[in-house]
Amino acid sequence: MKEAYENLKQLLNELEYSKYGWHICGDLKIVSLLKVLQLGYTKYCCILCEWESRAKTLHYLKRDWPQRKALKVREKNVQHPALAEWHKVLLPPPHIKLGLMKNFVKAMDRTGSAFKYLAEKFPRLSEAKIKEGVFVGPQVRKLFRDDMFNKLLQGDKKKPWDAFRLVSANFLGNIRAQDYKQLFEDMLSLYHKLGCSIFLKIHMLHSHLDFFPDNCGMVSDEHAECFHQEIATMEKRYQGKWFTYMLIDYCWTLARNAPEQLHKGQAK
């Protein structure tokens, strides 16, 4: 099912969402669809404020933007009536973490030993995904624990990486440190020096920390993110055509990626 407003509206109707009113967590694309914002590189892409994504001279400098008081169709990139109430939409901390990882990798020296080590560490990842910094949660956690990768990072790249690790451990998880705001300030300052542009995920940290839940570890879309990446690869392989063979191929991909679990299952 394509991620589109009409499809999401139909899905919520089938689930009788208006009757139950569950909290919803998804990537920022789904969040934007719920709040009926126009997708793509738009001027006003934040669901909470009128942040100008194209005003790059103000990024990292201006923190407070006019708050969105109403979602009026055909104004400020609003296309349709909202599908969920403000307080029912949860930001996905793992998705934010993957965005920070993506921007860090894209700023790395591609001829350096640390970048080359990523291909050795994750041989199943394509060269294009590594260059774009497309990783999933378990892979990021492996790098956090990888002493070799941490040793290979030097100079200006080591400090933002360490700051990213601290933010992930002390905010984007089950623990919220007392000095989490200072940790964010340090990380954003280092990302700025690294040359990372403020995109929507960094903007949410820069201007809307209070919108995150008290325990970010309670909210996760990690499995959905893994599924999204794998299905996107399958879709390209089959050129957008859905067949039974595509589902079989996906199931075998899961089996190849988890040989130990498959072997245990066969043993039983």
Most confident of 133-142, 177-186, 225-234: 177-186
What is the pLDDT at residue 227? 61
pLDDT (0 to 100) of residue 155: 77
* pLDDT beyond 80 at 242: no
227-261 CB burial, b ≥16 within 10 A, e <16: ebeeeeeeeeeeeeeeeeeeeeebeeeeeeeeeee
Residues whose CB is less than 8 angstroms from the CB of residue 242 and which lie 6 or more positions away in sequence, other chains included: none
Q: What pLDDT digit, counting tens, does each position of 87-106 carry?
A: 788 777 888 888 899 999 99
Contact (CB, 8 A) for 82 and 36: yes
Q: How confident is the model at residue 265 (pLDDT cuts 50, 70, 90)?
A: very low
The β-bridge partners of 67 are: 49
CA distance 266 to 222: 27
| Exposure letters 147-175 (e unless 16+ CB within 10 A, then b) | eebeebbeeebebbbebbbbbbebbbbee
Q: Inform me whether the pLDDT recorded for 225 exceeds 90.
A: no
Three-state DSSP class for residue 142: helix
Burial class (CB in 10 A: 0-12, 13-18, 19+), 190: buried
CA pair distance 50, 46, nearest whole angstrom:
7
Indicate the pLDDT class of residue 228, thresholds 50, 70 and 90.
low
| Single-letter code of the amino acid located at 81 | P
pLDDT digits (tens, 9 = 90+) for 141-199: 899 999 999 999 987 889 999 999 999 989 888 888 899 999 999 999 999 998 888 88
CA–CA dist 249, 234 (Å, integer): 8
pLDDT in tens, 22-76: 888 777 888 888 878 888 788 998 988 999 999 989 999 999 999 988 788 888 8
Angle at 135 between CA 124 and CA 202, to 5 degrees: 165
- Which residue spans within the chain are E strands per DSSP? 24-25, 89-90
Mean pLDDT of the region 246-264: 61
Q: Which residue has the tokens 């794998």?
A: 230
